[in-house]
Amino acid sequence: MSDQVAVVTGAGSGVGRAVARELAAGGWRLVLAGRRPEPLEETAGLAGGGALVVPTDVTDPVAVDALFRAAVDRFGRVDLLFNNAGAFGPPTPVEDLGYEEWRAVVDLNLTGAFLCAQAAFRRMKEQRPQGGRIINNGSISAHVPRPQSIAYTATKHAVTGLTRSLGLDGRPYRIACGQIDIGNAATDMTAAMSAGVRQADGRIAPEPTMDVADVARTVRHMAELPLEANIPFATVMATAMPYLGRG
Give me the active site residues, please. Answer: 152
Pairing verdict, β 204-205 and 197-198: antiparallel
- Whole-number Å distance between alpha carbons of 157 and 145: 10
Q: Give the other-Cβ count within 10 Å of 7's Cβ.
A: 30
- Whole-number Å distance between alpha carbons of 19 and 144: 25
- Whole-number Å distance between alpha carbons of 94 and 147: 10
- Helix 99-106 to helix 150-169 angle, to the nearest 10 degrees? 30
- Whole-number Å distance between alpha carbons of 190 and 16: 14
